[in-house]
């Protein structure tokens, strides 16, 4: 990378079904905490990128009243109408350009505000699919789940097992919203059937929340306590869901290849210590194992069964509970980056995994993980 | 908000704006819908890579070129994936139970390289299953003239 850029601080709200705070107050909390932890004040020079969405917020230019709580008044501020991992990417670019040394990245939305599954339907082709009312994020995900499971002999128990692992992991995360200690595959499979093969507990329910992260280069990064360095980054954009194969996550695979090349990683399964993966639906985590090169194509189910990705395994995935534990549209991928950074820094308290030096975090936007971002992070 | 009053206790206002948009379906989808009126499945074809798009696309993303060619496809196709829907999204954005589960399939029409998402009649489905298109030129809305699929045998 042209400059060494580090994550130097972060903050998250608790994630909740219906937060007892407006989104502005949630953003104020995380922005102030993250800036303070970075030793910054509003009068200091930094750029701001937020991730939020007009459809979710019910107003155009959904970032317009976030300027005040984001500490962005009269600063260089703009929005990524995507997952928050994209906001992190744009902030990184501003620093790499040399114009800025510090960026404040924020992701937020409130599921208690919007009509749960309606905004997602707006992603589908308005001249055909959207009008026919068959595709939504969940039915599309089920089509992908079936395509993947059928192609590679993945069982419902394996998909359910991922959800159970993440629900159990979330029980150790005090910020998580959706948690169940001791969850098992049978319970997940027995939950309400929505779009077969996906049951309700295989879906990461949307909730309210915000998170923020400060990244920096130069003096601030050098002087920071326990900086987490951004070693590699990649992103890719795949076709509309009906125009590509659904049995593989090719945008994630391409994004990972680019990020690994930048980070000097040639054998991810041995060089990566931990991953935080943005899985909106449980099968996506199995597909991500393959796309991230943790196992071979079609081996996601067997790789999961081996226990490697459990929190006591060799390559724990979603120790935080992942999106299953807390799914704030526009913040979920950014939260993955923050959780991965927490593990490297040793800030993860009751869910801390020992000896995490290199971690991978992913974010996704669009139906069936159409667009993917990968961050590779490393400690000192 | 007065001191000590939590957000959960203050009124929640509905957003009374329900904007309607008038999209043009575009020349290519117009041609597609005109074909359905005559019981034909019309797909666009890329002059560069010969990829066949159904529903038709005006631009081939792979060749960065305009798909000027048209091909009429046979009525047969293959189920690439499917889901048994037990719910649909209701007007309030929450899942509503369907009276009867229905199959939503991704079908690759013979001769096409992309899929159509549509209802599959007959109650059961499998990946690789051969199906035939059901066209209803009299459909209440033109977007539903491609009514769905039924088992080929």
3-state SS of chain A is: CCCCEEEEEEEECCCECCCCCCHHHHHHHHHHHHHHHCCCCCCCCCEEEEECCHHHHCCCCCCHHHCCCCCCCCCCEEEECCCHHHHHHHHHHHHHCCCCCEEEEEEEECCCCCCCCHHHHCCCCCCCHHHHCCCCHHHHHHHHHHHHHHHHCCCHHHHHHHHHHHHHHHCCCCCCCCCCCCCCHHHHHCCCEEEECEEHHHECCECEEEEEEEEEECHHHHHCCCCEEEEEEEEEECCCHHHCCCCCCHHHHHHHHHHHHHHCCCCHHHHCCEEECCCCEHHHHHHHHHHCCCCCCCCHHHHHHCCCCCCCCCCCECCCCHHHHCECCCCHHHHHHHHHHHHHHCCCHHHCCCCCCEEEEEEEECCCCCEEEEEEEECC
Is A197–B83 a contact, with Cβ atoms under 8 angstroms apart?
Answer: yes
- Residue B14, burial from CB neighbour count under 10 angstroms (0-12, 13-18, 19+): exposed
Q: Does A303 touch chain B (CB under 8 A)?
A: no
Which of A128, A134, A196 shows the shortest C-beta gap to B86? A196
**Which chain A residue's Cα is nearest to B81?**
A147
Is B86–A22 a contact, with Cβ atoms under 8 angstroms apart?
Answer: no
Q: How far apart are CA A41 and CA B140, in angstroms?
A: 60
In contact, B50 and B66? CB cutoff 8 Å: no
Domain range enclosing B111:
24-151
Is residue B14 included in any domain, yes or no? no
Tell me what pLDDT residue B10 has: 81
Q: Tell me the two tokens of residue B76.
A: 């047969």
* Cα-trace Rg, chain B: 21
Which of B81, B95, B141 shows the shortest C-beta gap to A143? B81
* CA distance, residue A21 to nearest chain B CA (Å): 6
Is B114–A131 a contact, with Cβ atoms under 8 angstroms apart?
Answer: no
* CA distance, residue B68 to nearest chain A CA (Å): 18
- Taking residue A157's Cβ as centre, other Cβ atoms within 10 Å add up to 15
Chain B hits for A243, CB-CB cut-off 8 Å, are: 53, 57, 61, 113-115
- Taking residue A304's Cβ as centre, other Cβ atoms within 10 Å add up to 23
Q: Give the fold, CATH level 3, of A5-115+206-223.
A: Peroxisomal Thiolase; Chain A, domain 1 (3.40.47)
Is residue B8 included in any domain, yes or no? no
Is residue B105 included in any domain, yes or no? yes
Overall number of domains in chain B? 1
Q: Does B80 touch chain A (CB under 8 A)?
A: yes
Q: How far apart are CA A363 and CA A127, in angstroms?
A: 28
Is B8–A20 a contact, with Cβ atoms under 8 angstroms apart?
Answer: yes
Chain A hits for B115, CB-CB cut-off 8 Å, are: 242-243
Q: What is the pLDDT of residues B54-79, one digit of tens each?
A: 999 999 999 999 999 999 999 999 99
3-state secondary structure (DSSP) of residue B33: helix
Tell me what pLDDT residue A9 has: 98
Is residue B6 included in any domain, yes or no? no
Locate the domains of chain A by residue range.
Answer: 5-115+206-223
Residue given tokens 């037990």 in the structure block = B86
Is B6–A20 a contact, with Cβ atoms under 8 angstroms apart?
Answer: yes
Q: Does B81 touch chain A (CB under 8 A)?
A: yes
Q: Does B147 touch chain A (CB under 8 A)?
A: no
Cα-Cα-Cα-Cα dihedral sign, residues B124, B130, B133, B134: negative
Is residue B3 included in any domain, yes or no? no
Among A295, A297, A319, A321, smallest CA distance to A306 is for: A295
Tell me what pLDDT residue B2 has: 62
Is B1 a residue whose pLDDT tops 70?
Answer: no
What CA–CA distances, in Å, run from A138 to A196, A254, B15? 10, 24, 25
Is residue B52 included in any domain, yes or no? yes
Which of A118, A127, A146 shows the shortest C-beta gap to B29? A127
- Taking residue B147's Cβ as centre, other Cβ atoms within 10 Å add up to 18
pTM attached to this predicted model = 0.97
Is A242–B114 a contact, with Cβ atoms under 8 angstroms apart?
Answer: yes
Return all residues near A107 (Cβ < 8 A) that are at least 6 apart. A50, A51, A52, A83, A84, A87, A210, A211, A212, A328, A330, A331, A332, A333, A334, A335
In contact, A26 and A210? CB cutoff 8 Å: yes
Chain B hits for A131, CB-CB cut-off 8 Å, are: 141, 143-144
Which of A19, A146, A194 shows the shortest C-beta gap to B87? A194
The CA-based angle B88-B91-B96, given to 5 degrees, is 35
Which of B21, B55, B92 shows the shortest C-beta gap to A128? B55
* CA distance, residue B153 to nearest chain A CA (Å): 22
Q: Tell me the two tokens of residue B146.
A: 């491609």
Which of B81, B87, B143 shows the shortest C-beta gap to A128? B143
**Which chain B residue's Cα is nearest to A111?**
B93
pLDDT per residue rounded down to tens, chain A (380 residues): 789 999 999 999 999 999 999 999 999 999 999 999 999 999 999 999 999 999 999 888 999 999 999 999 999 999 999 999 999 999 999 999 999 999 999 999 999 999 999 999 999 999 999 999 999 999 999 999 999 999 999 999 999 999 999 999 999 999 999 999 999 999 999 999 999 999 999 999 999 999 999 999 999 999 999 999 999 999 999 999 999 999 999 999 999 999 999 999 999 999 999 999 999 999 999 999 999 999 999 999 999 999 999 999 999 999 999 999 999 999 999 999 999 999 999 999 999 999 999 999 999 999 999 999 999 999 87
Is B87 a residue whose pLDDT tops 90?
Answer: yes
Which of A115, A194, A195 shows the shortest C-beta gap to B93? A115
Q: Tell me the two tokens of residue A379.
A: 């400690």
């Amino acid at each position: 990378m042209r400059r060494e850029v580090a994550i130097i601080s972060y903050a998250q709200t608790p994630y909740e079904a219906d937060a007892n705070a407006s989104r502005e107050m949630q953003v104020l909390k995380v922005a102030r905490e993250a800036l303070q932890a970075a030793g910054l004040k509003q009068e200091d020079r930094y750029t701001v990128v937020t991730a939020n969405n007009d459809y979710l917020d019910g107003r155009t230019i959904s970032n317009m009243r976030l300027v005040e709580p984001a500490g962005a008044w009269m600063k260089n501020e703009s929005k990524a109408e995507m997952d928050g991992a994209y906001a992190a990417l744009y902030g990184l670019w501003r620093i790499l350009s040399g114009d800025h040394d510090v960026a404040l990245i924020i992701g937020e939305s409130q599921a208690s505000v919007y009509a749960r599954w309606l905004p997602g339907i707006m992603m589908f082709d308005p001249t055909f699919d959207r009008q026919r009312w068959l595709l939504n994020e969940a039915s599309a995900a089920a089509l992908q789940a079936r395509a993947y499971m059928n192609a590679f002999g993945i069982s419902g128990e394996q998909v359910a097992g991922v959800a159970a692992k993440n629900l159990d992991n979330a029980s150790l995360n005090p910020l998580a919203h959706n948690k169940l200690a001791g969850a098992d595959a049978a319970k997940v499979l027995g939950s309400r059937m929505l779009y077969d093969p996906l049951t309700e507990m295989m879906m990461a329910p949307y909730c309210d929340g915000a998170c923020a992260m400060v990244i920096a280069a130069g003096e601030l990064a050098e002087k920071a306590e326990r900086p987490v360095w951004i070693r590699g980054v990649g992103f890719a954009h795949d076709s509309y869901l009906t125009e590509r194969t659904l049995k593989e996550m090719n945008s994630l695979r391409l994004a990972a290849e680019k990020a690994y090349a930048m980070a000097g990683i040639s054998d991810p399964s041995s060089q990566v210590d931990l991953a935080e993966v943005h899985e909106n639906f449980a099968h996506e985590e199995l597909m991500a194992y393959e796309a991230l090169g943790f196992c071979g194509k079609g081996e996601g189910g067997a790789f999961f069964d081996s226990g490697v990705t459990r929190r006591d395994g060799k390559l724990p995935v979603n120790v935080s509970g992942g999106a299953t534990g807390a799914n704030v549209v526009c913040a979920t991928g950014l939260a993955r980056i923050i959780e991965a950074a927490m593990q490297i820094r040793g800030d993860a308290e009751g869910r801390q995994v020992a000896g995490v030096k290199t971690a991978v975090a992913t974010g996704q936007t669009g139906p069936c993980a159409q667009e993917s971002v990968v961050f590779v992070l490393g400690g000192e | 908000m007065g001191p000590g009053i939590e957000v959960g206790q203050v009124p929640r206002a509905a957003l009374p704006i329900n904007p309607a948009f008038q999209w043009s379906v575009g020349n290519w989808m117009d041609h597609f819908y005109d074909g359905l009126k005559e019981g034909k499945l019309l797909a666009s074809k890329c002059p560069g890579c010969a990829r066949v798009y159904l529903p038709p696309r005006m631009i081939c993303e792979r060749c960065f070129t305009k798909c000027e060619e048209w091909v009429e496809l046979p009525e047969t196709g293959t189920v690439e994936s499917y889901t048994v829907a037990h719910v649909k999204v209701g007007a309030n954005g929450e899942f509503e139970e369907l009276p009867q589960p229905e199959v939503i399939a991704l079908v690759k029409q013979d001769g096409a390289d992309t899929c159509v998402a549509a209802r599959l009649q007959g109650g059961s489905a499998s990946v690789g299953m051969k199906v035939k298109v059901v066209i209803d030129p009299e459909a209440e809305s033109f977007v539903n003239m491609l009514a769905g699929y039924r088992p080929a045998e």
